[in-house]
Amino acid sequence: ARVVVLISGRGSNMAALIEAAKDPAYPAEIVAVLSNRPNAAGLETAAAAGIATAVVDHKDFDGREAFEEKLSAAIESFDPDLVCLAGFMRLLTSGFAEKWRDRLINIHPSLLPSFKGLDTHVRALAAGVKLHGCSVHFVRPEMDAGPLIAQGAVPVLSGDTEETLAARVLAAEHELYPAALALVASGRTRVVGDRVIVEPEED
Ligand code: GRF
């Protein structure tokens, strides 16, 4: 499957996908990395890995629709089967989510449906949860919502700060995202209502 990755910053999840896709047996190929921020560090990482990059700067556009029209055109120029959001920090319109329904994937740093939105690690600490983690899901128009493909849990430890907890979750993200993308790219996932059914691997 051809995959375009959308980023806004550091791009460590993008890097984990690129690394996984180096394996010839991996069922997805990262064909391009797009950023809405011209100075996203992940753009250099992608370029160094020999992957095509492009910037569609939201600041160049009047409103979300105009931005997305350009973003869509940029995505489609790479003819992807799937689009992965990896730290992409712009809300997308419902039109965009519908257009890419069940082909648009996001990673979120919490065990959804807990802690949608920003500052998940601070809120998890404040809530006193003992398990936290990350979720990979198909995108629906509502923020951080949609059928869950895979989740990874990590313990919350007594001495945790936002930084230590974030680092533990991020390490789990780097395992989870490539695994979840592989499930989708190999055709093993089926969306049934709000759920994702994962078919067993064929041998
Ligand atoms: C990750 O924690 C991701 O789950 C969240 O934003 C962060 C992006 O990090 N949506 P990176 O750009 O992948 O390093």
- Report residue 202's pLDDT band, with 50, 70 and 90 as the boundaries: confident
CB contact at 8 A, 36 and 14: no
Distance CA 187, CA 181 (A): 10
pLDDT at 168 over 90: yes
Question: Domain 2-198 in CATH: superfamily?
Answer: Formyl transferase, N-terminal domain (3.40.50.170)
Confidence (pTM): 0.96
Average pLDDT over residues 168-180: 98
**Whose Cα sits closest to atom 7 in ligand 1?**
87
All structural domains of the chain with their residue ranges: 2-198
Q: Residue 42, exposed/middle/buried by CB under 10 A (0-12, 13-18, 19+)? A: buried
Nearest ligand 1 atom to alpha carbon 107: 4
Among the listed ranges 24-33, 40-49, 87-96, 180-189, which one has the minimum average pLDDT value? 87-96
The residue whose CA has the least distance to atom 6 of ligand 1 is 87
Asked whether residue 111 carries a pLDDT value surpassing 90, the answer given is yes
C-alpha to C-alpha distance for 38 and 84, rounded to whole angstroms: 19
Which of the residues are catalytic?
108
Dihedral over Cα of 179, 199, 26, 70: its sign: negative
Top mutation candidate among 8, 30, 170, 177 for ligand 1, by most atoms within 8 Å of CB: 170
Cβ < 6 A, ligand 1 pocket: 7, 9-14, 86-87, 107-109, 170, 173
